[in-house]
Structure 1
């Protein structure tokens, strides 16, 4: 059914429903924002500090997703919270498990405003003694890096702080990483301690083009009274948004990774088009000035190995020259193929020669073992089917949202 609205006649516009209230997400709020939200729904100011502390514990230590499970909060207050707020998890559309134990979740977030539901992918990579969660920051991406599957998906929107944190909460749910939760039978996870020990902002999107939301999410993730992940175990990867690199160190304080992939501007312009705006000289100067940089807090440079493109020994020599004076580690990433890609992975012998040269020059240069290739969960393979709404679709949905006030 087609809905037509005469925008010039106020009487013809659908009127908002008074019966539907859009629930405000609590996940992702700072303590100060949570306090303001509680006061707005009638919680006495003298109680707010205690209530925020209780909620923070239930959300981020106990991992509850239903107010009814918050047993030290009165029944009346739980009803008030449920009437105004939501702490529900996003929908898990699909969960895939690789033969190597890697897990990938396709998560669907509800519509915001007049938008439509969106989907992102999140990946868990188990290793000896650690479990790393690869988190997305955007739906789609603006950067169009030619070797990256995500870059073939047009940018839809930024994720909110809550949606970024929801990916961590879902993973901990599914892996039994909250108190009194069971790990799934047969799951490959660390034998002791936490199942998710590290997080990397290396999923869909460019984190530094969603700086404020990523910042809020990572500050909550590293809060010692909640999820309590050390900032040394959080890595943010950027393709080179130079103005935000210093802010990342100063305001978030996490580990930095640079998606490098080429050592000459001409090639990097093709592989990582943001290089046209922030060329190598500017990028590396920003790295040298990264707050807290030291041998104990090195920058990781990610370098995907593309056959006959960037894998020569001349490239290795230039890489060493470029990084001179920067405490660094170079992750060599065998290219992970995806449908329609124009590139091939470098021969293993050539990757080892490249690594040997860089290692002899004094830089740790591990070759990253491809993980989750069989489920398209490896580096550079993430993508969802979410698309930006066409204008006509958006206008019609806006009309329906006004008429039903969110229904």
Structure 2
């Protein structure tokens, strides 16, 4: 490829009807929108043309985030999708309600109060452990709980926002350090910057504090799904995640795709999960294991010379835990959920060299060939597609240099 893909009109057919937040010269404040092919539909402008929409709270589509709309729950989301589909089929969208996607600026679709990142791919866990620690194995809790950590909300940014290489502390040689041979610490710009190709659920209907929900019923609280790039400084991560988990290595940026693909739009693409060989506790068990999602995901990396490489292609059906199970697991502590909260699945990786959803998995210990990490100035683009007419568009960001190149080294 000689350039990154830019036209995603085929992802947004009448079967999709996603939700986002956009502004333009004609619509100069961020507000709720949907998309038909390459046409952005400003929802506040169609209320008078669809009587069903007039039952919704006034001004709900004029707000700068989708949180209030998301909180209404899936019946309201279905009502709006159905009304839009009807107007499109009857060619009755008001003329002033639509603008070409190139005339619009996309914004974060929701205000995120809480963000949890899980790790649901067995292959990613195996490869990441080998690359980071020199040991190939699954976490002790694997198969009983989905492992996860709390992410940083302040650095969640919309697709297209550049991400800056972080500065932090890391071992000069992590493998030697773990053998006790060289524990020298460097403070400076990360030397192992990476992407992680992920999906995330977006919470809709809130779950009050102190209440729980089972995986069987958790879907009623999911508004929809986005693609997510969990930018990761691997050298900083390896030092800081023993014993508690990632912190600054994950805080430089998290990139979200702009369109929330609804729970209902993805129903035709449900598949059986990989399944477990043992019994799950009641809140995670499901009568029928059909809550997996079949989404074809790809990673493209554009170099500073504008060469484009397809670095990964994998399908989300490989994930061991469903998003409903992720929600039920975290809810079991009684934390509650707010509209706009994110639950990400972790790196989507399959069992092949071209299906590894991050660079860490391409840097296994010798004799494996190591590909290295991301250079300053590269652009990373994710794409996601279920079928003709139903896709996610893209999720992209450029990696900028660190704000300082100075380093400090321990004695």
Q: Which has the higher contact order (CA 8 A, sep 6+)?
A: 2
Give the shorter-chain TM-score range. under 0.3
More strand by share: 2
TM-score where L is the length of structure 1: 0.24
Larger radius of gyration: 1
TM-score where L is the length of structure 2: 0.24
